[in-house]
Structure 1
Amino acid sequence: MSLRINDIAPDFQATTTQGPLKFHEWIGDGWAILFSHPKDFTPVCTTELGYMAKIEPEFSKRNCKLIGLSVDPVDRHQAWAKDIEETQGALPKYPIIADSDLSISKMYNMLPADEPGTSEGRTAATNATVRSVFVIGPDKKIKMMLTYPMSTGRNFDEILRALDSMQLTMESKVATPANWKQGDDVIIAPSVSDDEAKGLFPEGWTTLKPYLRMVKQPQRGGQAGSR
């Protein structure tokens, strides 16, 4: 069964570099980002884990936890973390899941449900599809999914930008346009009538088309803000 946006993120128990955890319990009442890797000691993933270690405080400011996953045992993760710190200048402080029995990769449809065996003897190439990002909301539902090829490093600044958008649009009756970033104008949601918009956005808006109304980004809390 494939996963879709707004599905409940599968819950699981796992062994991690920070000990055992229950996923939904670990998420708590905030957001979480689960990002997976096909193998330890792979070059592109080394840069990714290091970069996420550097910008983890930005996610923490947004009440969002980070958790990695790789199809290898914990002792391999711990040895890899030393390489990450040495080469990238940052040590991951977030947990990294050991999915050596492939169960979580299968649960999240990153490997076929009938995939045999364990991490033993597998290569990055055989695990190539274990390279996804799942953004999970406080309601434990999947809000966004991304899957990248092994040779293309993921843009985690974009994931941070998308998280800003999702948090803003869950709180306010707006949507964000292409390439939006913090402080840019946003779109009044089509479900909001002009009469309702007058109350929500008393400073007014610009109507490009009846379905495309641009307005200054609301401040967190739903009040109209200024730039």
Structure 2
Amino acid sequence: MKFKLITFAFLAFSISPLFAQTNNIVERGFACSINDGYSMRDVVEVARNFEWSEDAAPAVVIFRSAVAVAGEFQNNWDFVFASYYPSYADMVEKRGVFLNRSGGRTGLGLSDVATCGDRVRISNMQFASQSEGGPPAFSLAASFVCELNGDTFADALNRASGAEQAFGSNARASVTRRAFGGPTIQNNSQVEIRVGFPNAADFGTGMDAIQQSTPPANAMTCSGGSMWAQYLIHSRNN
């Protein structure tokens, strides 16, 4: 079993329309590796064929495949299984139903094509701005882990808003701060800024545009970026 983990990058683009009535989204994630003989395409196909129970399923499920990720994530894992809930109350309710379900299954399961770690992280997420439209089946994203260095979460949201403008009109940014799990860090000392794009062309255009921009002057210091390919697995609106 592989145990090394890094801070997860969660989708900033596709889920905001599903959480329009909440200021805080709860995200729950864990890392997985693809079993020998299978591909990410196989994993996505199996998961999309799940029968998601309405009383137990998250609002949104995303599989995030590592393309070029900072740190040691790709030495140990292939993708992140990320689930999103509109509140902690909703997460507790849905997870309670899931954990109390009866055993047994039919057909191919995720464990047949992938092996997932036991360490879960739960984080709070807010979007830098609102958007319209539903989540795309496939998207690309860039993520940056940032030390606040005395700045506040509101400062981080302002920086994420600036990132949206710098990356282009189709970019969607959010800020995440960890609540539970993961390596020990000082409370409210670190955030992750994520910028998502609805397609590969917008990702390329956005990355070209950001090369011409100067980061805002503030206390925050951010690490080198990570690139992810993101697959929508489940949405309550679908």
Normalising to structure 2: TM-score of the pair?
Answer: 0.26
Which structure has the larger Rg over C-alpha atoms?
A: 1
Indicate the structure with greater helix content: 1
Normalising to structure 1: TM-score of the pair?
Answer: 0.27
Which fold has the larger relative contact order, with Cα–Cα distance below 8 Å and residues 6 or more apart in sequence? 2
Indicate the structure with greater strand content: 2
